[in-house]
Amino acid sequence: MTLARPVVILVMALLSGCANLNPPTTENAPPTSAPTAATNKSTPGLSPVNSGQVQHQGVAHLALPNDLWERMRKGYRMPNLESDLVTDRTQWYAAKPDYIQRMTERSSKYLFHIVEELERRQMPTELALLPFIESAFNPQAVSSARASGMWQFMPATGKSFDLKQNAFRDDRRDVQASTRAALDYLQRLYGMFGDWHLALAAYNWGEGNVGKAIARNQRAGLPTGYTDLNMPMETRLYVPKFQAMKNIVGTPSTYSVNLPNIPNHPYFQSVPLPRDMDVNVAAKLAEISVDDFKALNPSAHRPVLLAAGIPSILLPWDNAEVFQRNYESSSLDRMATWTAWVAPSTMKVSDAAKRAGMSETDFRAVNSIPPRMVIKAGSALLVPRSAQVGADVAAGLADNGRLDLSPEQSLKRITVKAGKQDTMSSLAKRHNVKPEQLAEWNKLPESANLKAGQSLVLYVAGKSAGKKMAGKSSDKTMVGKKKQNHDVRLAKK
């Protein structure tokens, strides 16, 4: 008993000491970059932590604020840019409170996830503001140069960062996948240039263009900072616009801006998709509107979700359990009214629509087929799912199906006669058509035995009836090229 009191006092003292310790913070931690092939030595400002490693901060999260804006401010790491252009853009944004309000309210669904990812990688948290500049935080945004999503990836760049783009989904619009790719890309650019302003310029203008601009200045004996380079006006304004948003978020009261409160906790969580399911059915099971569902799952740009290609969906935090409960108790035998069909031959849209039992207008709309185009053989298309189709779409088709279109041509109907040695294949090759097309036109199997002198119908291309598909601009920049009136266009959203 004589030892009990001292032991108790010692234990209490230790506990008191632990409670008074300041929790570790990431405030002064340097940003990290994934290793890149562009550098063989450590990059200034980066510590050698792989971007794929989760950085567990112990009890650090206990000290985080309740407001996400304040959490973001604590993680500001990038040097400030001060210039007349920054002042001009800051005043431009501050003078449009309604625009700021729309953008920030839209961002509230995604910001927590982005800030979490930036902190996990130990990157500057103000980079979470970049989608304000790229897309006004609209994950459905598409530029005139075909850049897509809130991070505005061009098709080729998206593919280089493993963002799948097929007939049924576009990962450039996916909240999680596109954020992962954008941060991977930004880390790579910082590793190449060792400067965040140059990295942002390269994100907009292309790393090759920035590299060439730096090389030109070096040859001329000129400085090579962001403000020293000769670049297009769009890129010249890019970092000032970013700095303007950073200024406003940093001290909104200075600019008479009221930012909506964004709680410092997750907005959504990922839920497994157990089977093919119409978008409106998934929204109903989750008890949310279709618009809210699409805002969290913008990569699914068709009316149906194919489970083999989209194994999980995002739902508001409190609705994930609701979805699971309603799914398990649902009496619906079939949750998808659409399925995938592969075109057996190149055909007109009207013919494909007829096969699907749809009007041409509806068929074009559901498959996003523009006018004056024909469907190429092997294309994957959505068609109504009949009661006889019990199985969901197979993984290979759901994950890799592509819609290939070509300009519509005026086809001339001709009749040819088969020779003694002719087969469907040889006759098709001679007239530059596919055997399956020849078989389709003549209602014959591809293996049919032809008789000498047998007449067959062919359709051969005449003069093109339409121009090539619009929007085929090359991927000169790594991320979408925007017009100089970008702010004006977004302000109308």
**Which two three-digit tokens encode residue 54?**
């989760």
| Count of Cβ atoms closer than 10 Å to residue 268 Cβ | 21
Q: What is the DSSP string of 357-404?
A: TS-HHHHHHHHTPPTTEEEPTT-EEEEE--TT--SPPPHHHHHH----
CA angle 314, 319, 321 (to 5 degrees): 100
Q: What are phi and psi of 295, to 5 degrees?
A: -65, -30
Q: What is the DSSP string of 56-89?
A: --TTGGGG--SBHHHHHHHT--SPP--SHHHHHH
Give the containing element (helix H, strand E) for 185: helix 175-193
Q: What are phi and psi of 385, to 5 degrees?
A: -90, 115
Residues in the chain: 493
Residues 6 or more apart whose CB falls under 8 angstroms from that of 3 comprise none
Distance of alpha carbon 493 from alpha carbon 483, whole angstroms: 16
Q: Please, is 173 exposed, middle or buried when counting C-beta atoms within 10 Å of its C-beta (0-12, 13-18, 19+)? A: buried
Give the containing element (helix H, strand E) for 115: helix 111-121
Distance of alpha carbon 198 from alpha carbon 201, whole angstroms: 5
Give Dmax over CA atoms of the chain in angstroms.
117
Question: Are 42 and 30 spatial neighbours (Cβ–Cβ below 8 Å)?
Answer: no
User: Which long-range contacts does 129-134 make (Cβ < 8 Å, 24+ apart)?
Assistant: 129/72, 129/242, 129/245, 129/246, 129/249, 130/182, 130/200, 130/203, 130/242, 131/107, 132/103, 132/107, 132/245, 133/238, 133/241, 133/242, 133/245, 134/479, 134/480
Neighbour-count burial for 213-251, b at 16+ CB within 10 Å, e otherwise? bbeebeeeeeebebeebebeebbbbbbbbbbbbbbbbbe
Distance of alpha carbon 283 from alpha carbon 392, whole angstroms: 19
Q: Which of 134, 328, 360, 436 is catalytic?
A: 134
In 266-335, DSSP assigns E strands to 268-272, 277-278, 304-305, 312-316
In the residue annotation, 70 being an active-site residue is answered as: no
* Unique residue bearing structure tokens 């009207």: 350
* Mode of pairing for the β-strands spanning 455-464 and 409-417: antiparallel
Residues labelled catalytic: 134
